[in-house]
Amino acid sequence: MDDSCRQVLRELQMFLDGESADELQHIISRHLGDCGPCHDQVEFQREVRVLIAAKCTDCAPPGLMERVCATLWPS
């Protein structure tokens, strides 16, 4: 995992929320085109979000995404 991967993973939640800066969105999108592992992580995160939105619209426990992230990327 190189520095750009770390940056992508750090910004991933913002990226998926569409809240990162335009330039960063662009950088991440380009990186995802080149980097299979990061691309897979993004796809997985998207699926998790869809699943959460579909299954517990009103009851997603606070901090769930943080726990999912901590499981995926233990620091």
Whole-angstrom distance, CA of residue 9 vs CA of residue 4: 9
Q: How far is the CB of 58 from Zn ion (least distance, A)?
A: 34
Q: Which is nearer to Zn ion, 12 or 38 (CB)?
A: 38
What are the C-alpha distances in Å from 51 to residues 12, 16, 21, 28, 47?
17, 14, 26, 23, 6
From candidates 12, 15, 28, 35, binder to Zn ion by CB under 5 A: 35
Q: Which is nearer to Zn ion, 31 or 52 (CB)?
A: 31
Asked if 42 is part of the footprint of Zn ion (rule: CB under 5 A), the reply reads no
